[in-house]
Structure 1
Amino acid sequence: MYNDYLKDSMTRLKSVIDDSGTRPILFVGTGLSMRYLNAPNWIGLLDMLINRNPKCTYPIAYYTQNCEDNPHIASLLIEEYNKYAWDNYRNGAFPEKLYEPNNHNSMFFKYEICRIFERIMENFNLDDHPLSEEIELLKELKPHAIITTNYDKMLEKIFPEHSVTVGQQVIKSKESLRIGQILKIHGCMDRPEEIVISKEDYEVFHKKQKYLTAKLLTYFMEHPIIFLGYSLSDSNIKKILLDIAEMVCESPEEIVDNIWFVEWSRDPIPTEYKPPSDKYIALDDGKSIRTNYVLLHTFEELFKNLDQGDVSSVNALQNLEDKVYNIVKSKSISDLKVDYLTMSHIEDEEALARVMGFQRTDDPEQGETRSVSVIGVGVMSDPEQIKLRFPFRLSDIAKQLELTHYNYVSQLIDKVKRQTGVNIKGTSNRYHFDVSVVETQPQHRYSADAVELLKKVLNGEVYSVYDESNNLVSPEYIEEQPQQLGMEI
């Protein structure tokens, strides 16, 4: 049962990534550092900090009993570290620069956090790591960006070509939305002043969180978001998910297709067990969000299915992005001569890559051709003919219909299925075609007929749809009011 569950989950994940037409975003939490660095979790880190301060006379249990949450514990420890530092300032307990009057009193505590992670990072070696094969699969990925609340520098070692943006610069910097970024929203071990850990730190962070969410709106709307190493009860993630829910959820019953919550099981998962494929996450204000969910003991299959087969380095992709940006922003753009005949034939990323001088490492013409009977169309075997008739991903249809998120297109397809019993995504037909050559790696493409059909459904117009027998089927009812999917954004 579990093997079938895993296969089905990975197939759906590949489908979501392909539908988006984008690279995924990895949202990385403490769990991944615990797995690869043997790093402590939050309460474990606070316990270590207590044991490193002679002024702390009580164990961690005292603080958990008397404090409402971990940030509150951190705030108390800041005071105890501050007192210890000044009681021993003549003994060189901390670097002299930390005693300067312009430093915040939390710097002694945060400096010690950095020392803990420096020691942890010293023992991290990719070459002889017991999970080196799994880490190597992670290293092969080319995500659009990686967002993390971790302080350590593990991700920088695994993704050395990625640029790093820390703390408030995530909001301020224009670079933070570029491809190949590691966004450390809670600070970093080599920037102690940016670390978010205390009650006061989180108050400041939450005041600015709306700005952060607004900055990352494009990510949340266009890219698959993969949450790795977080708990479903993590309050920080819940606040971010609350912002996402307000942007993309019409109803708490709907699964947000592009959000995947990956939970790690420390123990092997029994083969006869079938975990859920989606979960409701309770948020603040009585709200909830329903996301895709997958339970894993190891991450090999996940990383294999997140791999989009890129051969270009992150640096090459960043350089291409820069060149396109500079051309568009150039003051001399009006003097640019464009071969409109050539450009008019560009229909996808591969065609654009060929025009700009990139070459494939494989030859698509050497692949086997296949003949497919398409309901309502006939037999199709020419790849170019198929591409011309079925050029749209879900994300492309969303743009055609002026919707803010391709998840809304999935909702329209589901609505057609509910009203007529016809699942246009279930077969190759006049509306839909799976262009993949591997069964477990679906690549759904849609026709202009599908765009017109879904436009009518969106606007509440009378429509009919061809079923698997090529018969026209009308819905059981038509809603009087058009759906306003995502129009409020």
Structure 2
Amino acid sequence: IYAKGSYYKQTYNKDLIEIGKVFSDKYREWAWREGRDFFPPELYEEDTPPDIYIKHKIKQYLEEITPASLDQIQTQYAREISALQDIRPHAIITTNYDNFLEMIFTEYTPIIGQQVLKLNHSSIGEIFKIHGCISKPESLILTSDDYEEFTTKKKYLSAKLLTYFAEHPLLFVGYSAEDPNIKSILCDIDEIIATNNELIPNIYILEWDNEITRKALPSREKLIAIDSHRSVRIKSIVADSFDWVFKAFGANGAIEKVNPKLLRAILARTYDMVRCDIPRKTVEVDFQMLENAINVEGQLPKIYGITTLTNPTALNAGYPYNLTQVANKLGFKSWYHANKLIEQIKDQTGINIKASDNKYHIRIKVGNTDFSKYSEAAVILLNSVKNNEEYNLEI
């Protein structure tokens, strides 16, 4: 095995990413010939990515070597893991494929691969698996093609991660920071946070050395080469046990005894309370209006378009119907006919009663979905329109 490894390193000038691409191609060829019985049938469908075979094998291998539970961890490592858990970091960023971190931080939510770019996150209690996860083998960053795609999108990832680096210390654990993706992200951080090759103040790299002694004086800084002309300086910690390091980082106890999953839920609901149909740039107010908003409880949130739902029962009583129920009360079987009456009002008056919260309609946001509810006044109004009677809008 070693001889074969040396052959590929020699052939491809030690470019491990390019070697990953070669291995992927060879796995695909083998999978479609004598290796066919080693893969599930769905991997042979035409829309399956060609690198799925080696990634499937990586998934199987990591599942085999990953402990089924923390109870299987040897005693000397159990102390380190317990100290790591006590840090309770705001977020974890990893290039690891396996699910071991999810086992350690059971209350944290994994964000896998491109989900990091697509989803809104709560900035706490998340494991950012930027190189993918074996739970989704197709997400693994392994081949040169994967790295190229990552590079095209990493600027946005860097921007998201910068918010963490600016507010919290970053600890690289068991990692040499030689991965090109990590280097490029560090380069972006260096451009913004540090200038003139200054030390990046709150980034640490923790390296293991079993031969270090108490009298040793390892370097307190590490220089990481970004390219042939540039490097970044970060703080360095060298230890033969990570136990005391984790305890030091966990001594702060900022969110001790707080469930990250609960915090995520609270933060998510806080963001959902902000209406998306309000002015987003300029809110014009005069001094008298501002003074009144400060002195009268509940007025300031109204200026910003934020409402407080203190009585859900009253809301349901005031707006008890969805559009289908409104249609049924008007004698129709489908919501479509009630909606046509609303459009008729818009054509006749220029007012769309669904475009705002008013005495006829209110829009409620639940999760990522908006729901429209209608009042008894809406039923009366639409009944007048249906019967070609005169009506007055009170918006």
Letter in 2 for 1:258: N
Name the SS for the 1:92 alignment partner. helix
Pick one of 66, 72, 87 that aligns with 1:141: 87
Are 1:239 and 1:284, in contact at CA under 8 Å, matched by a contact in 2? no
Pick one of 156, 163, 188 that aligns with 2:133: 188
Distance, in Å, in 2 between the alignment partners of 1:171 and 1:214 is 10
Distance, in Å, in 1 between the alignment partners of 2:22 and 2:269 is 50
Distance, in Å, in 2 between the alignment partners of 1:108 and 1:316 is 38
- Unaligned 5+ segments in structure 2 are 279-292, 301-395
**Counterpart in the other structure of 1:237:** 182
Are 2:92 and 2:126, in contact at CA under 8 Å, matched by a contact in 1? yes
Name the SS for the 1:140 alignment partner. helix
Is 1:284 aligned with 2:227? yes
Name the SS for the 2:257 alignment partner. coil
**Counterpart in the other structure of 2:167:** 222
Pick one of 193, 199, 216 that aligns with 1:273: 216
Distance, in Å, in 2 between the alignment partners of 1:302 and 1:235 is 26
Pick one of 337, 340, 350 that aligns with 2:297: 337
Shift of 1:127: 5.3
**Counterpart in the other structure of 1:347:** none
**Counterpart in the other structure of 1:296:** 239
Distance, in Å, in 2 between the alignment partners of 1:233 and 1:183 is 19
Instruction: Output one character per residue of 1:213-267: Cα deviation in whole Å (capped at 9) or x when no partner.
Output: 1222211222211111111544332222111111111210x211111111111x1
Letter in 1 for 2:108: H
Instruction: Output one character per residue of 1:306-347: Cα deviation in whole Å (capped at 9) or x when no partner.
Output: 113212121232234235434555989x8993699xxxxxxx
The alignment yields a C-alpha RMSD, in angstroms, of 2.6
Is 1:197 aligned with 2:157? no
1:49-68 to 2 correspondence within 5 Å?
59-68=4-13
Name the SS for the 2:171 alignment partner. strand
Are 1:148 and 1:186, in contact at CA under 8 Å, matched by a contact in 2? yes
Name the SS for the 1:126 alignment partner. helix
Name the SS for the 2:66 alignment partner. helix
Name the SS for the 1:282 alignment partner. strand
**Counterpart in the other structure of 1:100:** 45
Are 2:31 and 2:53, in contact at CA under 8 Å, matched by a contact in 1? yes
1:442-453 to 2 correspondence within 5 Å?
none
TM-score after normalising by structure 2: 0.65
Name the SS for the 1:104 alignment partner. coil
Is 1:256 aligned with 2:200? yes
- Unaligned 5+ segments in structure 1 are 1-46, 51-57, 341-489
Flag the 1:232–1:168 CA change in 2: closer, same or farther, 3 A: closer
1:299-318 to 2 correspondence within 5 Å?
299-307=242-250, 308-309=252-253, 310-318=256-264
Q: Aligned residues: percent identity?
A: 36
Are 1:85 and 1:94, in contact at CA under 8 Å, matched by a contact in 2? yes
Letter in 2 for 1:255: L
Residue-pair matches, total: 280
Flag the 1:134–1:156 CA change in 2: closer, same or farther, 3 A: same
Distance, in Å, in 2 between the alignment partners of 1:256 and 1:232 is 14
Shift of 1:274: 0.6
Flag the 1:320–1:284 CA change in 2: closer, same or farther, 3 A: same
Distance, in Å, in 1 between the alignment partners of 2:63 and 2:261 is 27
Name the SS for the 2:224 alignment partner. strand
Flag the 1:196–1:233 CA change in 2: closer, same or farther, 3 A: closer
Distance, in Å, in 2 between the alignment partners of 1:187 and 1:77 is 18
Name the SS for the 2:87 alignment partner. coil
Distance, in Å, in 2 between the alignment partners of 1:188 and 1:232 is 19
TM-score after normalising by structure 1: 0.53
**Counterpart in the other structure of 1:126:** 71
Letter in 2 for 1:145: A
Name the SS for the 1:87 alignment partner. coil
Name the SS for the 1:151 alignment partner. coil
Larger radius of gyration: 2
Distance, in Å, in 2 between the alignment partners of 1:298 and 1:318 is 32
Are 1:227 and 1:261, in contact at CA under 8 Å, matched by a contact in 2? yes
Distance, in Å, in 1 between the alignment partners of 2:73 and 2:216 is 33
Name the SS for the 1:295 alignment partner. strand
Flag the 1:133–1:325 CA change in 2: closer, same or farther, 3 A: same
**Counterpart in the other structure of 1:112:** 57
Pick one of 86, 89, 99 that aligns with 1:153: 99
Pick one of 103, 113, 116 that aligns with 1:167: 113
